């Protein structure tokens, strides 16, 4: 083995996160998902008002945008930007899904005719995931204009997440990797 080949192998090993870092990341992701999932299930969404439901959705979406912006900064500064990006997606997407699930459950309790059936917390989550995954089984459907507008809003936001948010995370990973490599090896986004 040449010195050059040995150096490349050492660089690759240095670029990989240690097992302890991987384990800690998994623990944080699982902990975050469990925490927001538990919060979702204990929220008294059946006692919501229209103004509270709208406020929850708007504040939640603003919080989601702020969360993503903070995560992008963290990815760029991270020693392991790809790992940080995976962690960011694994925490922000469940937050987004649970936000819409909470909105659907609250809306279904405010106006029982909003959906084809009464929505429990689990039904709301199921409905949100079927929309997000574009499966749409049709067993739960939006019946009122308000419910259809909220579902349409989720569909449009889903498209933004699929396209823009993932692209932003990928660019943040590249910038983080370029930052790690140093100014000599960096390449501007215009050179892509």
Using the predicted structure, report yes or no on whether residue 174 has a pLDDT greater than 50: yes
Distance CA 121, CA 40 (A): 8
How confident is the model at residue 191, as a pLDDT? 34
Convert 180-190 to b/e letters by CB count within 10 Å (16 or more is b): beeeeeeeeee
Q: What is the pLDDT of residues 58-83, one digit of tens each?
A: 999 999 999 989 998 998 898 998 89
- Type and span of the H or E element at 79: none
Residue 188: which pLDDT band, with cuts at 50, 70 and 90? very low
Range of lowest pLDDT (42-46, 138-142, 168-172): 168-172
Report the predicted TM-score, pTM, of the whole model to 2 decimal places.
0.80
What is the CA 62 to chain-centroid distance, rounded? 13
Q: What is the pLDDT of residues 122-131, one digit of tens each?
A: 999 999 999 9
- Environment class of 5 (CB within 10 Å of its CB; exposed 0-12, middle 13-18, buried 19+): exposed
CA atoms within 13 Å, Cβ hemisphere of 136:
7
Distance CA 60, CA 158 (A): 15
Distance CA 131, CA 169 (A): 22
What is the CA 2 to chain-centroid distance, rounded? 44
Percentage of the chain beyond pLDDT 90 is 59
**Domains of the chain, earliest start first:** 46-182 (1.10.287.70)
Strand partners, 142: 115
Q: Are 84 and 176 in contact (CB under 8 A)?
A: yes
């Amino acid at each position: 083995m040449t010195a050059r080949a040995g150096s490349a192998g050492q660089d690759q090993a240095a670029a990989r996160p240690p097992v302890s870092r991987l384990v800690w990341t998994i623990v944080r992701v699982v902990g975050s998902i469990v925490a927001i999932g538990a919060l979702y299930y204990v929220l008294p969404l059946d006692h919501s008002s229209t103004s509270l439901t709208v406020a929850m959705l708007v504040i939640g979406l603003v919080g989601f945008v702020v969360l993503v912006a903070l995560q992008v900064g963290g990815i760029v500064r991270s020693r392991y930007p790809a790992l940080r990006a995976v962690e960011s997606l694994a925490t922000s997407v469940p937050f987004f899904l649970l936000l819409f699930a909470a909105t659907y459950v609250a809306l279904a309790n405010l106006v029982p005719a909003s959906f084809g059936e009464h929505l429990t917390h689990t039904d709301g989550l199921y409905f949100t995931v079927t929309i997000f995954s574009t499966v749409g089984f049709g067993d739960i459907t939006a019946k009122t204009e308000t419910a259809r507008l909220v579902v349409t809003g989720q569909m449009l936001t889903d498209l933004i997440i699929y396209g823009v948010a993932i692209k932003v995370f990928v660019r943040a990973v590249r910038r983080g990797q370029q930052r790690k490599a140093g100014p000599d090896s960096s390449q501007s986004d215009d050179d892509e």
